[in-house]
Amino acid sequence: MSHPRHRLFTPAEIAAVTAGRWLRSSPRLAEPIAGIGIDSRTLAPGEAYVAIVGERFDGHDFVSAAAGAGAALALVERAPAQAPASLPLLQVGSCVAALQALAAAWRERLHAGGCRVVGICGSNGKTTTRHLIHQLLHAGGLAGSQSPKSFNNHLGVPLTLLTARPEHAYLLCEIGTNHPGEIAALGAIVRPDIAVLTSLGEEHLEFFGDLQGVAREEAALIECVAPGGTALVPAEGRLPVALPLSAPSAVTLRRFDLDPLAQALPLPGEHNRLNASAAAAVARLFGIHDVCIAAAIRSASHAPLRGEVLFADDPARPTVINDAYNANPSSMRAALAMLAAHPGRRVAVLADMLELGEGAAQAHREIADLACATADLCLFVGPLFAEALAQPGAGIGGGADRFEIHSVWSDAVAVAICRRLLAGDTVLLKGSRSMALERLLPVLEWASR
């Protein structure tokens, strides 16, 4: 079903929502804009440009470029050094706060239009769960949208809301965090009709301190559920610590565990089956029948860099489980369990886990121990693994033929790793996002020719 071109607020409404002051007013105050963007390179004609000030860039430097792209107006914190006289300029106290205020106001219009918002949080599995929910709802004949990639921070969440359409049945919005209070702040903007908490694990312990701190942060989304909504959380036995639950009285709290329909999921690992179980629970809240849910689960696809199985049908190459998008100790354990289920020689290529605070060395030693107990060959990459395993008492099993440690990534390291791999191996790639272990894939493809 086709829809008319997406139209957002009028310039007059934008000024009212953001409490902005016109430095140069728009001649079309009552004409809706086409959208809102923060990147002058991808801005479409008729959209408003928001000049975000970041740690490594200042959006005010690109106001002229936004005008050249056809911006309808620009939201700025100060008069830019260069801007065409024809471009309307709206001054606001904070461009980030203005973007979030616009998203919160648009959330009201989504509600009025009947679009139900699903907020997805958790230490691991957010993107996979969101991707599976989208596939199940789409298979049920519903039209909707979802976060592009992992747009789950203070900029990505409002941008996701602002691209949703009130006439759609749903919007799936990832909500991430790496500092206390972020879930509550973003949840107050999203106000989900359905909240899904996927898991609790040792994420960003440098800032949350321990698993109880993680639980408090992730559970904050439940308090933001809209009246009459539902919060879905894992069964108690699926969580490493008790979840502090304080759902509003008008919110229904439901727990989910492994769903029989999830057994047919083609993605590897029990953790993915639990993600599919959460997706099935959401689909039922939308009234989708189990027959449709089961068919969609059987044909479900993976999200990029998350448990994707590569080269399985090529006998000349090793099978690769590319789970390289991100990592923390709990997701490492889940990935190694996924590797253990594969036959033949198993190889774990693991890179550093970041933002673990004082427990980083111990966490890396424990994961290295588990990897050496699981895999026939372990290849560790990064200074944190190297430092942890160099300390006295590290004691990982096996000799030099069972593991290698590379403290710094380089092209030579990639070649050395590929030379250790054999046709018929099953190879797990797992590490934090900045480690970018997927860089190994082009070298592997070249080496396999």
- Condensed to tens digits (0 to 9), the pLDDT of residues 367-416 reads 999 999 999 999 999 999 999 998 765 556 555 568 899 999 999 999 99
**What pLDDT does 2 receive?**
33
Structure tokens at 244: 């502090």
**What pLDDT does 179 receive?**
93
Query: If you average pLDDT over residues 403-430, what whole number do you get?
Result: 94
Query: If you average pLDDT over residues 415-444, what whole number do you get?
Result: 94
Residue located via tokens 């298979």: 139
Average pLDDT over the chain reads 93
Cα(319)–Cα(425) distance, integer angstroms? 6
Cα(251)–Cα(185) distance, integer angstroms? 19
pLDDT beyond 90 at 284: yes
pLDDT beyond 90 at 129: yes
Query: If you average pLDDT over residues 264-285, what whole number do you get?
Result: 96
Show Cβ contacts of residue 374 under 8 Å, excluding neighbours closer than 6 positions.
Answer: 336, 337, 339, 340, 346, 348
For 39, left (φ over 0), alpha (ψ -120 to 50), or beta? beta
Query: If you average pLDDT over residues 125-135, what whole number do you get?
Result: 96
Query: If you average pLDDT over residues 210-218, what whole number do you get?
Result: 96
In 165-306, beta strands by DSSP E:
170-174, 194-197, 230-234, 252-256
Greater confidence (305 vs 281) lies with: 281
Find the length of the chain.
449
Q: Which candidate, 252, 254, 154, 156, places its Cα nearest to that of 197?
A: 254
**What pLDDT does 48 receive?**
97
pLDDT bucket at 3, cuts 50 / 70 / 90: very low
pLDDT beyond 50 at 4: no
Query: If you average pLDDT over residues 431-438, what whole number do you get?
Result: 94
Q: Which residues pair with 171 in a beta bridge?
A: 117, 145
Cα(57)–Cα(9) distance, integer angstroms? 27
**What pLDDT does 303 receive?**
87
Cα(204)–Cα(123) distance, integer angstroms? 9
- Domains of the chain in start order, with CATH, are 11-93 (3.40.1390.10), 100-298 (3.40.1190.10), 308-447 (3.90.190.20)
Cα 254 to chain centroid distance, Å, stands at 23
Contact 423, 345 (CB under 8 A): no
pLDDT bucket at 248, cuts 50 / 70 / 90: confident
Cα(267)–Cα(106) distance, integer angstroms? 35
pLDDT bucket at 448, cuts 50 / 70 / 90: low
Structure tokens at 33: 């804009």
Cα(85)–Cα(32) distance, integer angstroms? 21
Query: If you average pLDDT over residues 265-275, what whole number do you get?
Result: 94
pLDDT beyond 80 at 346: yes
- Condensed to tens digits (0 to 9), the pLDDT of residues 64-91 reads 999 999 999 999 999 999 899 999 999 9
pTM attached to this predicted model: 0.89
Cα(25)–Cα(220) distance, integer angstroms? 40
**What pLDDT does 34 receive?**
94
Residue 435 three-state SS: helix
Cα 228 to chain centroid distance, Å, stands at 26
Angle at 324 between CA 318 and CA 330, to 5 degrees: 110
Report the binding-site residues for ATP.
122-128
**What pLDDT does 445 receive?**
79
Query: If you average pLDDT over residues 28-46, what whole number do you get?
Result: 95
Q: 15 to each of 18, 88, 93, 98, 190, how far by Cα in Å?
A: 5, 12, 12, 10, 21
pLDDT beyond 90 at 151: no
First-to-last C-alpha distance (Å) of the chain: 45
**What pLDDT does 394 receive?**
57
Report the binding-site residues.
122-128
Contact 318, 337 (CB under 8 A): no
Q: Which residues pair with 230 in a beta bridge?
A: 194, 252
Pick from 169-183, 207-221, 435-449: least confident:
435-449
pLDDT beyond 70 at 99: yes
Q: 316 to each of 2, 232, 415, 420, how far by Cα in Å?
A: 45, 44, 17, 14
**What pLDDT does 149 receive?**
77
